[in-house]
Every structure is written in structure tokens, then in C-alpha cells.
Structure 1
């Protein structure tokens, strides 16, 4: 599974990455978590406001920090996609 955190490095982007890392750890999912700060790549997902979380190529949230509960749902449902 590939989890991308889209953002330029602001505190909210870092928090989103921290939550996604915790979700992956707590659910014991094998996932690669990547921080994406390239504006062109971020825009290619149609994201206009960060932070954003992309799981296996699908934007799950943009403009907000995800909750740990939502993050766990995304990474566990991503196993089957």
C-alpha cells in the first residue's frame, strides 16, 4: 500500500503524516508513507488545499488533518483494493 501526504511542510501537513504513520503502525498494515511537497504533483491529484492524504492513488481528505479513526479505516480498507 502507498500512502502519500501532500503538503509543503506546514505543521498541519506534518501532523497528518504523524497520524497516518500511527494508523499504519496500530493496524499492522504494510504501507509505504511518502511525503509529497512538489506543487505540480499535488495539483495533479486535483488538490488545491493541503494537507491532503492519498491512499493507493485515491484522495481521501484535503484541507484538513485526518482523525486517527478515519486513517485506520483508509489503511485497512486499502488492503482489499
Structure 2
């Protein structure tokens, strides 16, 4: 599984990364996590607000920080 956290390093972006890492650990899923902080690369995903969560090339969340439980549900659907 490949996960990208889209964001410039703001507190919400860091919270999304933390929730995602915890969700992965609790589910026992191994994933490659990449933080995308370059605004030009973020714009390639056509999201208007950060943070963004991309799983296996698909935008799953944009503009909010989902709870750890919401992320777990997203991840379950992607395995």
C-alpha cells in the first residue's frame, strides 16, 4: 500500500500523518508513507485544501483531518 500525506507541514497535516500511522499500526498494515510538501506537487492532485490523504493513487480525504477510526475504515477498503 502506498500512502501520500499532502500538506505543507501545518498542525492539521501533522495530525493527519499521526492518525494515519496509528491506524496502520493498529490494523497491522504495512505501507510506504510519503509526505508531499511541495505546493506544486500538491496542486497536481487538484485538491483545494490541505491536508490530503492519497491511498494507492486515489484521493481519499481533502481539507480535513479524519479521525483515526475514519482512516481505519478507508484503509480497510483499500486492502
Q: Same fold (TM over 0.5)?
A: yes
The number of aligned residues is 79
1:38 and 1:63 map into 2 onto residues whose CA distance is 16
CA contact (8 A) 1:52 1:62 kept: yes
1:34 Cα shift?
A: 1.2
Alignment of 1:37 with 2:33, yes or no, is no
Matches within 5 A, 1:11-26: 11-26=11-26
Alignment of 1:60 with 2:67, yes or no, is no
Structure-1-length-normalised TM-score: 0.92
Structure 1 residue runs of 5 or longer lacking an equivalent are none
Structure 2 residue runs of 5 or longer lacking an equivalent are none
Structure-2-length-normalised TM-score: 0.94
1:58 and 1:77 map into 2 onto residues whose CA distance is 12
